[in-house]
Amino acid sequence: MKNSLLLDAGGGGRASQRLIAERFFRHFANPLLERMDDAALLADLRPPLAMSTDAYTVTPLFFPGGSIGTLAVHGTVNDVAMLGARPRYLSCAFVLEEGLDMELLDRVAADMGKAAREAGVLLVTGDTKVVPRGACDKMFITTTGLGSVFAEPTPSGHNARPGDAVLLSGSVGDHGLTILGARENLSFLSDVASDSAPLNRMTAAVIERAGDVHVLRDPTRGGLASTLNEIAEQSGVSIILDEERIPVHEAVKSGCSFLGLDPLYLANEGKCVCILPEERAEAALAAMRNFPCGAEAARIGRVTAAEKRPRVALNTRIGGSRFLSMPEGAPLPRIC
């Protein structure tokens, strides 16, 4: 019989201790965590600080290019990095379903440990709860990240200015389509993989080399179109994009065209939008392209003054134009 998680493991007794020691310490190893105090003591963070939290749930737990474990680290690390900060510490809370295959938990914890080491962050405190079978779908993970802000000025969605260049660190749509394909076993999507990656080293390089970064945002759920709409609204500007400059992988293009989806609305987990003064755009692009996650970085558009109200417009490949609106719910594939 496979090794399954028992409710005991969430009870706070020896079973809990064993779970934590055997499944988590092994992969997250660091002195701050191993002190096992009620909280982690962080002595070396200089203000101002950036803090972000995110809850992760994904079906399936493992997919081409990543897992719930890589997402739980990359997602939170990236959110902290988008404020012009260096993410340093993560907390993590697990909600686990009774009967969970321990081997799965082990693989997820291993992915988290590896992702944290790659991103240069420490998992310093955590919590584990086990809920009865059916009360959650295998596992939910919540992580919170903390880091010191070093960018001056601090990038924010409110800071886009007319005349700024809009840069994108790479292709869009890969993650969203991969999850859909893995969840629904769509065999024709075998060529796509999630872009799950830590962006903090790349964003630090961009800030150091180009400076004066007005906006940094990672276009996760809702995709590039939603993120740009949020920025346009927050900054009270319009954004004009050139469709042919937006990198989209061929496999994503054809998969989307088959399912009636728009890659600009699909989630990404390893991309960022960077908006900064035009004259700094080339330096920022060069900095991005030094990293594998930024190899396909491109200038995709520019910021203009809002006419009637803030909008995001797209100059299409064939020379037409249209608006990119805010999506409502999650994108659904069409019937025929």
User: Binding residues for another protein, per CB under 8 A?
Assistant: 184, 186, 243, 254, 257, 260, 262, 308, 311, 314-323, 325, 327-329, 331-336
Please report where in the chains the tokens 């009865």 appear, as a residue: 132
Minimum CB separation of residue 270 from another protein in Å reads: 26
Mapped onto helix, strand or coil, the DSSP state of residue 198 is coil
Burial bucket for residue 322 (CB in 10 Å: 0-12, 13-18, 19+)? exposed
Minimum CB separation of residue 230 from another protein in Å reads: 16
Computed on alpha carbons and rounded to an integer, the radius of gyration of the chain in Å comes to 21
Minimum CB separation of residue 64 from another protein in Å reads: 18
Q: Indicate the residue among 40 and 306 with the shorter CB distance to another protein.
A: 306
Rounded CA separation 24/93 (Å) = 11
Minimum CB separation of residue 39 from another protein in Å reads: 38
Least Cα distance to 121 among 145, 93, 141 occurs for 145
Alpha carbon 325 to chain centroid distance? Answer: 22
Minimum CB separation of residue 263 from another protein in Å reads: 11
Minimum CB separation of residue 110 from another protein in Å reads: 32
Q: How far is CA 149 from CA 32, 44, 219, 253, 310, in A?
A: 22, 13, 21, 37, 29
Least Cα distance to 296 among 172, 155, 115 occurs for 172
> What are the residues facing 276 on neighbouring strands?
165
Q: Indicate the residue among 236 and 260 with the shorter CB distance to another protein.
A: 260
Q: Indicate the residue among 29 and 305 with the shorter CB distance to another protein.
A: 305
The CB density around residue 32, as the number of other CB atoms within 10 Å, is 16
Q: Indicate the residue among 294 and 331 with the shorter CB distance to another protein.
A: 331
Q: Indicate the residue among 55 and 323 with the shorter CB distance to another protein.
A: 323
Minimum CB separation of residue 129 from another protein in Å reads: 25
Rounded CA separation 216/260 (Å) = 29
Cα atoms found within 13 Å of the Cα of residue 175, Cβ hemisphere only: 29
Cβ atoms of residues 5 and 96 within 8 Å: yes
Q: Indicate the residue among 155 and 223 with the shorter CB distance to another protein.
A: 223
Minimum CB separation of residue 171 from another protein in Å reads: 16
Q: Crossing angle of helices 68-81/102-119, nearest 10°?
A: 30
Q: Indicate the residue among 184 and 279 with the shorter CB distance to another protein.
A: 184
Q: Indicate the residue among 41 and 335 with the shorter CB distance to another protein.
A: 335
Q: What angle do CA 186, 188, 189 make, to 5 degrees?
A: 75
